[in-house]
Structure 1
């Protein structure tokens, strides 16, 4: 492992966690998005990660939830069909919040690794300067 591999690996983790946090924020913001029954439901985005051989991680792509969503009876909603139904996303808020905590903790851990590595490299440079 090279001298700066720790920073590179932590940087890939920071990027992956940031993408995950962004996707979760969008999912949570749209958990109550109502659509008419002739439209697709809001589709939650899930980040697909790919481990790298050098210890880092890449964002491989994105997966989305079903466009079918779930039908909810809401006869007073202006988007309701003739039977009084609207289409809602099938996103589970508790799952999204749990993932949000995991993504935040992962991001914080990556920041701490970066800070510790920078402090170590700075100390090594100061020792070499003496």
Structure 2
């Protein structure tokens, strides 16, 4: 492991957790998005990640949840069909909130590693003076 590998590994963690946080934020913000029964429901985004051979992680893509969603009976909704149904996203808010906490903690941990690495490198440079 090279002298600056810790920064690269932690940086990849920061990027990955930020992307995960962005996706979760969008999912949570659209959890109450209703659509007509003839349209697809809002599809939650799930970030796909893999380990890099050199250390760290990388985003390999994303997947979307089921477009069918759930039919909800709400005859007063302006998009309701003749039977009073609208299409809602099939989104488990408990899972989204749990993932949000994990992503926040992962981002904080990666950020702390960057901070420690910077302090270590600064001290090492100071010793060489």
TM-score by length of 1: 0.98
Q: Secondary structure at the match of 2:58?
A: strand
How far the C-alpha of 1:54 sits from its partner, in A, is: 1.3
Aligned residue runs from structure 1 range 7-86, under 5 A: 7-86=7-86
How far the C-alpha of 1:55 sits from its partner, in A, is: 1.4
| Counterpart residue number, 2:122 | 122
Structure 2 unmatched ranges of 5 or more: none
CA distance in 1, matches of 2:86, 2:51: 40
CA distance in 1, matches of 2:54, 2:101: 26
CA distance in 1, matches of 2:78, 2:123: 64
In angstroms, what is the RMSD of aligned CA positions? Answer: 0.4
CA distance in 2, matches of 1:37, 1:60: 32
How far the C-alpha of 1:123 sits from its partner, in A, is: 0.3
Q: Secondary structure at the match of 2:128?
A: helix
Asked if 1:110 is matched to 2:106, the reply is: no
CA distance in 2, matches of 1:67, 1:7: 39
CA distance in 2, matches of 1:39, 1:112: 44
Q: In the comparison of the two structures, how many residue pairs are matched?
A: 129
Structure 1 unmatched ranges of 5 or more: none
CA distance in 2, matches of 1:104, 1:55: 21
CA distance in 1, matches of 2:6, 2:77: 53
Q: Secondary structure at the match of 1:40?
A: coil
